[in-house]
Amino acid sequence: MGDVHVIRIMCPNLVCQRVLSVPDSARGKLVRCGGCGVNIKIPVLKSTKPAETSEQATPPPPQSQEN
């Protein structure tokens, strides 16, 4: 349980500055501040870890020798 990453973002509204906790899945989306109702865009974080690159799992083709 609690495996969901949560982003904490502060409301840009200077008279609010409420810290919102939004799920990681909310990146790139707008969330509404529960304090002042302003829409805040959750910045998309560039992956800290390298993207999972699928290594070349394809085996080399069989070399058939034809005469």
Scanning the chain, the segments in alpha helix (DSSP H) are: none
Nearer Cβ to Zn ion (18/27): 18
Locate 47 and state its tokens: 């992956």
Closest distance to Zn ion from the beta carbon of 11 (Å): 3
Closest distance to Zn ion from the beta carbon of 22 (Å): 13
Report if residue 18 touches Zn ion, rule: CB under 5 A: yes
Helix, strand, coil abundance in the chain, percent, nearest 5: 5, 25, 70
Q: Which x/- pattern over 22-61 shows residues binding Zn ion (rule: CB under 5 A)? A: -----------x-xx-------------------------
Residues that bind Zn ion (CB under 5 A): 11, 13, 16, 18, 33, 35-36
